[in-house]
């Protein structure tokens, strides 16, 4: 499957040591699918039943370690491990904030890394990250098919 420049850049942002990758609001699943060759567990999450059903059918004969969840991304039960990457891409900034805020409320301090690519409300996303003591590990602005995208990799500061 040919992947876009944006999908490839999101893929590159995933920690090489991540054993589990969550593809939240996965829609077409291209981000998670692009990570298959790297021998890790990919968890596809979307609240729309037919999206997950279509992905499950498409990938049922694969030998890859996958899991599918039809659930609001705010309700996922992460492993909260340093070996975990959580991708939130292709949604608005307020959705990114809602998802991260709910996870933060339920788990407290987060060890997992997040890779964000909000479509809008970038200033609010950065403010949320600052207020919740996330370090920006890397950030990149790319252009794919004449559209500008921000890719932000963050991890919460270590509590002392």
Q: Give residue-wise pLDDT tens across range 118-139.
A: 999 999 999 999 999 999 999 9
User: What CATH number corresponds to the domain at position 87?
Assistant: 3.40.50.150
Residue among 117, 123, 153 nearest 6 (CA): 117
pLDDT reported for residue 3: 81
pLDDT reported for residue 36: 82
pLDDT reported for residue 62: 77
Give CA torsion, residues 18, 80, 66, 32, to 10 deg: -60
Point out which residues pair with 143 in neighbouring strands.
148
Pairing mode, strands 41-46 and 66-70: parallel
pLDDT reported for residue 160: 63
pLDDT reported for residue 53: 94
pLDDT reported for residue 50: 94
Cβ atoms 146, 118 nearer than 8 A: no
Determine the structural domain holding residue 142 and report its residue range. 5-156
Cβ atoms 64, 91 nearer than 8 A: no
Domain total in the chain:
1
Residues of the chain with pLDDT under 50: none
* Model pTM score: 0.94
Cβ atoms 86, 115 nearer than 8 A: yes
């Amino acid at each position: 499957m040919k992947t876009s420049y944006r999908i490839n850049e999101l893929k590159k942002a995933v920690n090489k040591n991540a054993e589990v990758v969550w593809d939240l609001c996965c829609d077409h699943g291209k981000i998670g699918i692009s990570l298959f060759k790297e021998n890790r567990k990919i968890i596809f999450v979307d609240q729309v039943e037919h999206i997950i059903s279509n992905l499950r059918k498409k990938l049922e004969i694969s030998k890859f370690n996958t899991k599918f969840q039809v659930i609001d991304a705010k309700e996922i039960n992460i492993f909260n491990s340093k070996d975990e990457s959580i991708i939130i891409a292709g949604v608005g900034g307020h959705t990114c904030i809602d998802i991260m805020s709910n996870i933060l409320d339920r788990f407290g301090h987060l060890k997992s890394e997040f890779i964000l690519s909000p479509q809008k409300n970038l200033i609010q996303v950065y403010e949320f990250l600052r207020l919740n003591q996330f370090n920006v590990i890397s950030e990149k602005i790319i252009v794919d098919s004449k559209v500008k995208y921000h890719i932000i990799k963050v991890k919460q500061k270590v509590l002392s």
